[in-house]
Structure 1
């Protein structure tokens, strides 16, 4: 099957593309050509890679036609962030492909209400990213003649990049604090949640949706670990993983935010305002897919890579 992957050298594509090749797909990857895949694989030698500036071509109104001209049976879009961009691609592919798969986000749900949150829960997104992704999903799943499937990942983790840390932002210093047995201060009571997912499991949901096309078209699916972590529980687990006893303190939000940079506070607030805990029941029931990694396992796999590649300054535990 001829399959086009847009943005195929990023986190998800680094796992998804080799799996597609090994399954016998003829794969074409569109990317800006600025990044190599996070994982080495001989399968990449059998991939046709095209350098494309999607933003520029979206602005020129040519991107959808470019993808349609590749004559693919399946198109997987991993880097669409606005409804106009989705519409341009969707209208170009309407009636032309067997399946269009889009990478969304669990941010479409907004703050958690019922947990675990099912896909059909009312979406009340906030923030530009969640609002835009929700609009894209509504268009793709509501357009007649467009065989679309939307996959909504959680906090994507894995070797090669920093996972969301137990303070809810991306500063590696948080992991160093825990690794060295020092006290870490968390916002409020540390009971807000994060829900990591391994990039390999996100790729697995895409593959399962392709393998079960008849039930996947017109549907959305979460791609998360089976369970969420509180910031406190996450911090305690990381401390013990490094052989340390957890040393945690807590501050009310308005005090805590002044202990970190403005950017870190912004990222943390985004995460704890959502406090996601999404369900994987639908993917199990309709696609037969269950994640291989727990939320902690996904984060620790990324953390192990950081340690192995000496990205952290750590004093060995005595």
Structure 2
């Protein structure tokens, strides 16, 4: 099939595009060409690259028509962040594409309630990103029901893998947390460290997109969680990371209001977003309907990412 991937040079596309090429598909990658994939292999020579700035062309009202002109069988949108963008795509592509797959987010659920969270549970999103992603999902599924728009929504957790840092035990991206754990130094966690993170390796996310294409009849009109098999607590992650370096984690704890004053403002903002959501998603539906079977546990995905980062930055312990 001819498959167009919008935003294909980032985390997911780095793994997704080679998977699709290996299966014999014709792949067109649409991006701004502002960066290269995290892992360039010879297979990327088989990918047709098209440079389109989505922000500018959406303002001009021509982005969706440019995508339609590519005459794809399947379109995968990895960078749709507003309901307005989604509506423009649906209006242009209705009746013109066999399968449209949108990359959502576990943030559509808002605060965790009954866990593991299932796709059918009531949504209570908060924050601009989560609210927008939830509204996009609602809109796409309504278009599927009302107009037969052939959409699927995949909701990844905290995507990680070689090339970028994972969300760490303090709920943010500060690499010092991992360095301290590797050296056996103390780290301070917010509250009791019992909030959860739900990582997923980018290659497992790529697997889910491929499986959605190959299980089209089960996938259309549905949304799915794409995470590792189990979420992990902040303290659980801290203990496991320290152990992987032959250390015992030295942990202390502070209530949130006191803890946030000990870190830079941006770190505190990221931490709050993660501990307030505390995602913990079920993959039972994706297993049943898409044959999704993540290769990596949360810890394995994090460890691979840390190893790459330490080697790249020449950090020795």
SS at match of 1:27: strand
Match of 1:271 among 270, 274, 291: 274
Q: Which residue number in structure 1 is paired with residue 102 of structure 2?
A: 102
In the TM superposition, residue 145 of structure 1 has moved relative to its aligned partner by 2.5
SS at match of 1:44: helix
Q: Which residue number in structure 2 is paired with residue 80 of structure 1?
A: 80
Distance in 2 of aligned mates of 1:98 and 1:253? 48
SS at match of 1:258: helix
In the TM superposition, residue 90 of structure 1 has moved relative to its aligned partner by 1.2
Q: Which ranges of structure 1 fall in alignment gaps of 5 or more residues?
A: none
Q: Does 1:35 align with 2:35?
A: yes
Distance in 1 of aligned mates of 2:123 and 2:23? 35
Distance in 1 of aligned mates of 2:90 and 2:37? 26
Q: Which residue number in structure 1 is paired with residue 238 of structure 2?
A: 235
| C-alpha RMSD of matched pairs (Å) | 0.8
Q: Does 1:197 align with 2:200?
A: yes
The count of residues paired between Structure 1 and Structure 2 equals: 314
SS at match of 2:11: coil
**Residues 13-32 of structure 1 aligned to structure 2 (within 5 Å):** 13-32=13-32
Q: Which residue number in structure 2 is paired with residue 44 of structure 1?
A: 44
SS at match of 2:159: strand
The range that moved more, 7-16 or 141-150, is 141-150
In the TM superposition, residue 41 of structure 1 has moved relative to its aligned partner by 1.8
Q: Does 1:246 align with 2:275?
A: no
Q: Which residue number in structure 2 is paired with residue 62 of structure 1?
A: 62
SS at match of 2:40: coil
TM-score using structure 1 length: 0.97
In the TM superposition, residue 311 of structure 1 has moved relative to its aligned partner by 5.5
Instruction: Give per-residue Cα distances to partners, 1:181-218, cap 9 Å, x unaligned.
Output: 11000000000000000000001111111000011000
Q: Does 1:261 align with 2:295?
A: no
Distance in 1 of aligned mates of 2:55 and 2:29? 16
Q: Which residue number in structure 2 is paired with residue 149 of structure 1?
A: 152
TM-score using structure 2 length: 0.98
Q: Which ranges of structure 2 fall in alignment gaps of 5 or more residues?
A: none
Match of 2:181 among 158, 178, 182: 178
Instruction: Give per-residue Cα distances to partners, 1:73-98, cap 9 Å, x unaligned.
Output: 10000000000001101111100010
Consecutive aligned runs of 4 or more in structure 1 exceeding 4 Å deviation: none
